[in-house]
Structure 1
Amino acid sequence: MASVDKQRIEDVLACPFLLAERIRSAVEEAESFKLECGEVGKQVDRLLQMLRTLVRFTTAVQSLYERPIRRVVAEVSRNLDRALTLVRKCKHRNILRRVVAITSVADFKKLFNFLEASVGDMRWLLSLFDCENGGASVGNVLSLPPIASNDPIISWVWSYIAGVQMGQMADRIEAANYLASLAQDNDRNKKIIVEEGGVPPLLKLLKESSSADAQIAAANALCMLANDVNRVRTIVSEMGIPIVVQVLGDSPVRVQIEAANLVARMAGHDQVAQDDFAREKVIRPLVTLLSFETFLDDPTTQLGKQIIHSIAQINKEMEKNSPSNSWGYRPYMNSYSNLSTEGSSRGGSHRKDRENEQPEVKLQLKISCAEALWMLARGSVHNSRRITETKGLLCLAKLVEKEQGELQYNCLMTIMEITAAAEYDADLRRSAFRTNSPAAKAVVDQLLRVIKELDSPTLQIPAIKSIGSLAKTFPARETGVIKPLVVQLSSRHQEVAAEAAVALQEFASSDNYLCTEHSKSIIEFHGVPPLMRMLRDSERTQLPGLILLCYLAIHASNSEALEQARVRTTLEGADRTVLAQHPMLKELISKAIYHLNLYHTGVHPQSQSYMP
């Protein structure tokens, strides 16, 4: 037998009618407890009348929310089945059979309670679907059906979802806001909302073009739900990504803010969503929105000309690729689809509205778009490459230069993710961070400015990490990127000093073919004394400082600065104390000591071989 959720709604509604007819026949045939059986018949008739009314409601509603109907009617059917079983026991005249059946007045009292509960459930259900009397509105939450007496949340969720799916526009907006508030309370509420089918009506409401408030309410509710990979996957499986991308590309500013927030939330919690957003080409509209009005104050600079030209090209491509028919799906990769643009002529008016928006609203749009790009780039070489191909690096560099606070931070974190991807992908490194690239130069200049001029670990750390990730792109003559990192080895913020040491490791490591030249530059900029101090500080700075010191000893062993600082003695002591906690350092420390011995005890390098 199919489960209730898999049966057609018509079959679910037919079941209690068949049971009711059997109960009527059993009541007429009852030989004992006739009074009680007659009362059962009256209760069943009440339920039948309610069920008929429910059937009329369900046929009149175009977009029916079935979940509460299935649950309530299934419970009604169970109670009717109980009634049929009990009434049939009253048919037999034989006293022995009556004794064996063990039927009593108490059994009927218990049955009456069940049937009365079903009447209460049906009364609540009818109020939910009675459109003439405010059905599918949040006002129905004030009542509580017996089926939800042990868990009131379920009835609230049913009412709100029904309001979103079947109510008038004002009710739909209010219900979506209530769902968002309920989801904000705890993860259990989020789980119930998703399990009870809340995602499809919210996506449908988000897709509505007639009301910006409706789209904002829906996007906010979905954003509240999307903090778990399984719930994000539900949104993905309901074709949510094409809807979100379309809304982001052609909506009022306040709607675009919520859409960008939803992109960030989903991409940040699920790699599948992150990849599918990229397939739906979400990066281009995000970069376009992020660059809005960013370069108007400086249109004559070479950087400004390049970015304006790039964004113009992006906009032309988007207009060319946007169909003008109404909302609809067409086949796309991985069973997904690109949504066509409804009323593409609205794009111009939205741009005009965007220009006239309040500065704080424009700022929030950029903050949300920058966070979305950050989440899309995180751990993804492909998405990082797409951002660089849309000239996003130029835009990010300019915003880091001009802005402060959350927007500046989000842009720095996006750059950090892109550079981290470039560190492990040589093609991305060569294409996006060529030494003669204006975008790469702009980014590096701003990273160095943040490192040198700002006294904020929150901003300095991603900038330092980014420079470290780009270590392989800098030629030996580019010592200007090394000096600021060496200076930060003496930072009063230990986390900044530690990150500076880690970044310098990328320059001095054997994986960098210019490690010898970079190691000498670090020493020439007086990097050894602060490293020696770091070894005496907490473990946070001790370990990265020790590793960097080993690299310097290996690749610049003949430096007098290393001998004067008694680095060999320090490493020999570290060999005994640190290895207990970090045994993987044994080979590196031994190799560093070996190279120092070669140059500072008069032994020629070719006369010995290193044995780890």
Structure 2
Amino acid sequence: MGSEEERSMEEELSFPILLADRVRKSVEEAESFKFECSEVGKQVDRLSHMLRSTVRLTTSSSSSSSSSSSSQTIYERPIRRIVSEVSKNLERALTLVRKCKRSGILRRVVTITSATDFRKLFLLLDNSIGDMKWLLSIFDVVDSNGGSGGGGNIVLSLPPIASNDPILSWVWSFTATIQTSSSIIDRIEAANQLASLAGDNDRNKKIIVEEGGVPPLLKLLKEGISGEAQIAASTALANLATDQERVRQIVAELGVPIIVQVLWDSPMLVQTSVANLVSRMAENDSDAQEEFARENAIRPLVSLLSSETPLLDEPKPPQSGKPTTLHSLVLVNKELGVNSHLYPKTLHQHNLHLNSSLHSEGSSRAGNHKKERENEKPEVKLQLKIKCAEALWLLSRGSVSNSQRIAETKGLLCLAKYIEKEQWELQFNCLMTVMEIAGAAELNADLRRAAFKTNSPAAKAVVDQILRIIQEEDTPSMQIPAIKAIGSLARAFQARETRVLGPLVTRLDHRNLDVATEAVIAVGKFACPENFLCVQHSKAIIEFGGVSPLLRLLRVSERAQLHGLILLCYLALHVGNSEALDRSKALSALEGAARAPVSQHPQLRELIPKAIYQLDLYHEGDHPHRQSYGS
């Protein structure tokens, strides 16, 4: 298929036309089966006529597209597939007719030509004629409907080549309409039909991508002819973007810059649909995440999320009267970043619409939709924010670069505001975004220091809201990401930040096992040796009464037991002389665990003996019968 695709359409079509001429010449030279050869000639003449019509169609399309950048280019995929099949059948015709060139019994016996061979050939040529008629019909429809404004003109008949697979012909018809029709109504309908097909099953998605459906959809999205067309295109693309391979196809067709541009400059309903497309692509491919990072998709998303939400008192860019340049924007953003120490220290004091500064990077046409935004229904505005928050969540998942950009755009403050004020899906998406940023900060010290430094109002606002969720919410789906976020930030807190550890330790006794287990994992990050303040944190954990609920967790699930033992070992190593550990018989618990299968876990193989030795060292006088474990 690759070599075929490399040939120009002119080369692709010239070969079967040449074959048709050779068949016609051979028909005139036939000396046997003259009637059958004559019938073959008639069929081939029809094919030749249709092939030449196709040449004129493609030639006129090429010349018009070269003279006008806005003209539609021809959709080549069905032409190449059908013409390739026509060429095979013309070759069969040429072979059979040539056998009839000389008469004679011996010639007919040797070639074994029969009427049956011709009947088979007639059927093949009929199929090719049907394919060519269908091919010309779809391009005739999309060419003749321009400006009519009428809908429902998409060809849904089946060509013989697709008789066993009607989806193929539908995809060709819809894609050709999107690519070449002048009727916006037909193009919208075709995009909606592709979206429906893609939503049905993975096989349909595979066919749409293989048959070149992605570029016309991206083109429809980019043109911005109408909001309805852009929504149809982005919905179809989102339905396709459900696995890594198809997402990468969208990226390979330079879809990411188009998507980011539409995010900046479109009506709200379009932006909502495109934000959903960003989510699907980011969810299914980490490479797409990084492509969006390079195109700085974070800024329009944060801008849309923060619109109408007071956040910060920041200096506005100077109004010089000159056009805004990329260099000036970089300087402004840098200035806004380095002056973060000037901001007020509580969330309720922040008082700026980030949208005004962030949108300065977008297209100058963004103002075209300002009045529309003001008049939009509240539910439309809410849905846009929900989708933008979801996109930020999935873009930041496992991505340090995107997490950094969210922090740089003051997105943390916006997220904290919605976690505080909103509920349901918007609050959840914002909380998940914070969890992912915290997870990235756990792995990247530079991000941790930049985004979650102690005197940062954004960091304080985020931590305040996470702790509020842990203390006040009782829904596991909300508590678990909040607990994970605090655990990921364990190395960002100072020893005096006891307000952070207290709520976590309390959740060790939560009735929901998943919540309790996540709390054990999070508390363990405070007590682990990699944490510079592990000794102080370990003391605080014991002071908050964490030992008893911790020991109870050792008797439940395997996961809770594993992480509970890790935390207990840390406490024994750092605060082995604790009376709370002695009273709760932590040593006996560890000795029992040393004989259990869980002790062979890589993290526990050396940790348990060291912890037992440490506890035995401090309490040896009270338990003279116990065996001493060496480190």
> Which residue does 2:284 correspond to in 1?
269
Q: Distance in 2 between matches of 1:569 and 1:2?
A: 69
Partner of 2:64: none
Partner of 1:420: 439
Contact 1:57 1:130 in 2 (8 A): no
Structure 1 unaligned regions, length at least 5: 323-340, 604-608
Instruction: Report matched runs for 1:315-334 at 5 Å.
Output: 315-316=359-360, 318=361, 322=362
CA contact (8 A) 2:307 2:353 kept: no
Aligned counterpart, 2:587: 568
Structure 2 counterpart of 1:153, from 156, 161, 167? 167
How many residue pairs get aligned? The number is 583
Aligned ranges for residues 536-551 of structure 1 at < 5 Å?
Answer: 536-551=555-570
- Which residue of 1 is the match for residue 246 of structure 2? 231
Which has the larger displacement, 229-238 or 96-105? Answer: 229-238
Which structure 2 residues correspond to residues 116-135 of structure 1 after superposition, within 5 A?
Answer: 116-131=126-141
Worse-superposed segment, 244-253 or 372-381:
372-381
Match of 1:387 in 2: 406
Cα deviation 1:249-292 (Å, max 9, x = unaligned): 01100111111111122122222221121111211111111111
Q: Is the 8 A contact 1:137 1:160 kept in 2?
A: no
CA distance in 2, matches of 1:455, 1:298: 34
Alignment deviations for residues 55-89 of structure 1 (CA, whole Å, 9 cap, x no partner): 33333444200111111111111111111111110
Q: How does 1:145-544 map to 2 (within 5 A)?
A: 145-167=159-181, 168-295=183-310, 303=347, 306=350, 308=352, 311-316=355-360, 318=361, 322=362, 341=363, 344=364, 346-544=365-563
1:84 maps to what in 2?
94
* Alpha carbons 2:393, 2:433 under 8 Å: kept: yes
1:6 and 2:20 correspond = no
Look up the match of 1:327.
none
Relative to 1, partners in 2 of residues 1:311 and 1:178: Cα closer, same or farther, differing over 3 Å?
Answer: closer
Looking at structure 2, the residues matched to 499 and 241 of structure 1 have their Cα atoms a distance apart, in angstroms, of 36
Deviation track 1:537-567 (CA, whole Å, cap 9, x = no partner) reads 2223222222111111111111111111111
- Give 2:124's aligned residue: 114
Counterpart in the other structure of 2:156 = 142
DSSP-derived class of the 2:4 partner = coil
| Corresponding letter in the other structure for 1:293 | E
Q: Distance in 2 between matches of 1:513 and 1:413?
A: 27
Q: Report deviation, 1:581.
A: 5.7
TM-superposition CA deviations, 1:443-489 (whole Å, max 9, x none): 00000000010111111111001100111111111111111111111
Question: Would the alpha carbon gap of residues 589 and 301 (structure 1) be closer, same or farther in structure 2, given more than 3 Å must change?
Answer: closer
Displacement after TM superposition at 1:520 (Å): 1.0
Asked whether the 8 Å contact 1:294–1:399 carries over to 2, the reply is: no
- Cα offset, 1:4, TM superposition: 2.5
**In the alignment, is the contact (CA less than 8 A) between 2:153 and 2:186 conserved in 1?**
no
Which amino acid in the other structure matches residue 566 of structure 2? I
Give the CA deviation at 1:139: 4.7
Amino acid corresponding to residue 219 of structure 1 in structure 2: S
Q: Secondary structure at the match of 1:505?
A: helix
1:328 — aligned with what?
none
Query: What amino acid sits opposite 1:540 in the alignment?
Result: R
Alpha-carbon contact 1:483-1:525 (below 8 Å) kept: yes
Matching residue's letter, 2:178: V
Q: Residues 128 and 137 of structure 1 are in contact (CA less than 8 Å); yes or no, is this contact kept in structure 2? A: no
CA offsets, 1:125-179, max 9 Å, x none?
Answer: 1111113665998655431111011221111110110111112111111111111
Question: Does the aligned pair in 2 maintain the 1:495–1:540 contact within 8 Å?
Answer: no
Contact 1:494–1:540 (Cα < 8 Å) also in 2? no
CA deviation after TM superposition for structure 1 residue 311, in Å: 4.9
Distance in 2 (CA, whole Å) between partners of 1:307 and 1:418 is 24
Equivalent pair of 2:599/2:605 in contact (CA under 8 Å): no
In structure 2, the CA distance between the partners of 1:246 and 1:305, relative to structure 1 (3 Å rule), is: farther
Q: Is the partner of 2:595 in helix, strand or coil? A: helix
With over 3 angstroms needed to count, the CA separation of the structure-2 counterparts of 1:164 and 1:2, relative to structure 1, is closer
Task: Report if the CA contact (8 A) 2:312-2:351 is conserved.
Answer: no
Structure 2 counterpart of 1:206, one-letter code: L
| TM-score (ref. length: structure 1) | 0.91
Q: Where does residue 54 of structure 1 map in the other structure? A: 54
What does residue 41 of structure 1 align with?
A: 41
Mapped to 2, the partners of 1:416 and 1:365 lie a distance apart of: 21
% identical aligned pairs = 64
Task: Tell me what 2:334 maps to.
Answer: none
User: What is residue 28 of structure 1 aligned with on the other side?
Assistant: 28
Structure 2 unaligned residues grouped into runs of 5+:
62-71, 315-343, 623-627
- Change in 2 beyond 3 A, CA 1:305/1:243: farther
Shift of 1:114: 0.4
In structure 2, how many angstroms separate the alpha carbons of the residues matched to 1:233 and 1:349?
32
SS of the aligned residue for 2:531 comes to coil
SS at match of 2:103: coil
Of the structure 1 ranges 106-115 and 69-78, higher mean CA displacement relative to structure 2 is found in: 69-78
Give the drift of 1:431. 1.3
Q: Distance in 2 between matches of 1:133 and 1:382?
A: 49
Distance 1:137 1:576 in 2: 75
Contact 2:138 2:155 in 1 (8 A): no
Distance 1:2 1:523 in 2: 67
Bigger Cα displacement from structure 2, 15-24 vs 134-143: 134-143
When the two chains are superposed, the root-mean-square deviation of aligned CA atoms in Å is 2.4
Give the aligned residue type for 1:163: T
Q: Is this contact kept in 1: 2:227–2:270, CA < 8 A?
A: yes
Q: Which moved more, 1:443-452 or 1:53-62?
A: 53-62
Secondary structure of the 1:435 match is coil
Cα separation, 1, equivalents of 2:604 and 2:36? 85
Query: Aligned partners of 1:311, 1:152: CA distance in 2, in Å?
Result: 48
Question: What is the CA distance between 1:307 and its match in structure 2?
Answer: 5.8
The answer to whether the Cα contact below 8 Å between 1:507 and 1:515 also exists between their aligned partners in 2 is yes
Q: What amino acid is aligned across from residue 18 of structure 1 in structure 2?
A: L
Q: Paired residue for 1:69?
A: 79
- 1:331 is matched with which residue? none
**Structure 2 Cα separation of the partners of residues 233 and 396 of structure 1:** 29
Contact 1:138 1:159 in 2 (8 A): no
